[in-house]
Amino acid sequence: MNEGVAYFLGICFSGLTRGSIYALMALGYTLVYGILSLINFAHGEVYMIGAFVGLVFAGLGTILGLGPVANAALALGAAIVWAGAYGFILERVAYRPLRRAPRLAPLITAIGMSLFLREFVILAQTSDFVAFPPLFEALPSLPQGWGEFVLPSELLILCSTLAVLFGLYLLVQHSKMGLAMRSIAQDPEMARLLGIDVDKIISFTFVLGSALAAVGAVLISAQIGQINANIGFIVGIKAFTAAVLGGVGSPGGAALGGLVLGLTESLAAGYLSSDYEDGFAFLVLVLILLFRPAGLVGKNLPEKV
Q: Should residue 81 be labelled a site residue for another protein when binding is judged by CB under 8 A?
A: no
Q: Which residues are bridge partners to 156 per DSSP?
A: none
What is the nearest approach in angstroms of another protein to the Cβ of residue 171? 7
Q: Should residue 302 be labelled a site residue for another protein when binding is judged by CB under 8 A?
A: no
Binding another protein (rule: CB under 8 A), the pick from 63, 65, 140, 189 is 189
Residue 152 vs 178, nearer CB to another protein: 178
Binding another protein (rule: CB under 8 A), the pick from 137, 187, 272, 279 is 187
| Residue of 55, 17, 20 whose CA lies nearest to 228 | 55
Binding another protein (rule: CB under 8 A), the pick from 81, 122, 142, 171 is 171
Binding another protein (rule: CB under 8 A), the pick from 177, 267, 294, 297 is 177
Contacts made by residues 234-237, CB under 8 angstroms, sequence distance 24+: 234/44, 234/278, 235/21, 235/22, 235/25, 235/44, 235/47, 236/25, 236/41, 236/43, 236/44, 236/45, 236/47, 236/114, 237/44
Q: Should residue 37 be labelled a site residue for another protein when binding is judged by CB under 8 A?
A: no
Nearby residues of 301 by Cβ (< 8 Å), 6 or more positions away? 294
Residue 202 vs 261, nearer CB to another protein: 202
Binding another protein (rule: CB under 8 A), the pick from 4, 140, 145, 195 is 195
Rounded (5°) CA angle 42-118-24: 45
Span of 121-129, 193-201, 219-227, 277-285 interacting with another protein by CB under 8 A: 193-201
Neighbouring CB atoms inside 10 A of 186's CB total 10
Which residues bind to another protein, rule: CB under 8 A?
A: 171, 174-177, 179-180, 182-183, 186-187, 189-198
